[in-house]
Each structure stands twice: as structure tokens, then as C-alpha cells.
Chain A
């Protein structure tokens, strides 16, 4: 069974701080996606990483896919209150497997 473990599960930080969210698995994925979900809404796709070692930047967000395509990280620089939400990673290996999510709260 393919599983994705996200950590931390909850994160509460002050505006301006940096943070990293991790997504780990023992399985290899052909690609990995990161979503952000706000209360009362469905997840919105942020990025898809495909190649081992790939790094993608989206403004203050940096996404990295592990060399072995089993893990990924999301780093946010100078977090802002607007970054608050649930961050989900999802691995594609024939079907989309979601991690448990990281609930991020950025306080002004």
C-alpha cells in the first residue's frame, strides 16, 4: 500500500518566519503534486514536480522533489497571513495518493 506521510501536521508561526513542510514515502511516484486548501473550499493545485531532484519556485514557495522520487518538501520564505491553509501533497503512482495534510497558521 502506498502511503504519504506529511510533517508537521500542524504549524503555527509568526508573519515573516520561514517554514518547511515535508512529504515522505517508501514508494516511488511518477510525479508529486502540492495543493493548498482553504476552509470551505476544495484543494487548489500549486505545483507538479516530475523529475527527481527537480526544484520549482512559485513566488515565496519553493518545492523540491527528492532524487529518488519518494519524498518532497515545500519551503515558504517570509510567511504571510495569506499563506494560512491546509497544504496537501499527493503522489501519482497509477492513482493519486494524498498525504494527511499540514495545517499552517500564520499570525500577523
Chain B
């Protein structure tokens, strides 16, 4: 069974641009979570989608947004990129509720120049 997949693997943007990151959950999983892992800051929760709806978001500005599609895949959009947005963005999926074990993808490394 395929795990969580993310694309692209690496993304290089300049300040002010927009970035779009994609995630495909494990088959049968309806919940998708996005995390930011910046150097020295650990994993910071960004967004949680379940059944196409945004269920919760972390302490990030509105320029971080996303959506979940009918096939449960998800997109994370970051507008007006800033240098400090450079990080590894991890997507995780779980079968349903927020208390289920989360399975992580390999991440997208975003570099903002």
C-alpha cells in the first residue's frame, strides 16, 4: 500500500511569490494535516482538513491556506512568501478523527530566496 506522497520534493521561490504544495494521503484516509518544520523549531501545526472541510488551523497568518479535494488529496498555498517561510513542509494523513495516529509523507523542502 502506498504511503503519503508529497510533491514537489524541492521548491525554490523568491520573496513575494506564491508556492503551492501537494499531498496525497494513504488510500482510505480522510484526514490530512500540514506541518511546518523550520530549523530549530520542531514541527509546527499548520492546518487540518477532514472530509473536505478545514477543521483547525495553527497560529499562522492567513497567507497560509489550503484545501482538500473530493479524493482527499490536499494543497497548501503560501502567498506573499517571506524568507522565514523557508522550511520543510510535512503532510500527514489519518483514517479519520484527530486522535488517530498520523502517517507522514517525506515533505517538500521550500526555499525562499
Contacting residues of chain B (87-113) with chain A, CB-CB under 8 angstroms: 90, 92, 98-99, 101-107
Chain B, interface residues (CB within 8 Å), range: 20 to 34
A100 in contact with B41 given A42-B92, A42-B105, A92-B99 (CB within 8 Å): yes
A-B contact count (CB 8 A): 48
Q: In this complex, what residue of B is CB-closest to A31?
A: B99
Q: How far, in whole Å, are A95 and B35 apart by their CA atoms in the complex?
A: 13
Q: By the criterion CB–CB under 8 Å, are A88 and B42 in contact?
A: yes
Least CB distance from B96 to A in Å reads: 14
Q: Is B98 touching A40 in the complex (CB atoms < 8 A)? A: no
Question: Given A88-B43, A100-B41 in contact, is the A42-B90 Cβ separation under 8 Å?
Answer: yes
Q: Which residues of B contact A (CB under 8 A)?
A: 4, 33, 35, 40-45, 48, 56, 90, 92, 98-99, 101-107
CA distance A37 to B42 in the complex (A): 11
Task: Take A42-B4, A45-B101, A48-B101 as given contacts and tell me if A95 and B107 are in contact as well, using a CB distance cutoff of 8 Å.
Answer: no
Q: How many chain A residues touch the partner (CB < 8 A)?
A: 22
**A43 contacts the other chain (Cβ, under 8 Å)?**
yes
Please indicate the chain B residues that have their CB under 8 angstroms from the CB of A33 in the complex.
101
Would you list the 6 A-B pairs with minimal beta carbon distance, nearest first?
A42-B104, A98-B43, A100-B42, A43-B104, A42-B105, A41-B106
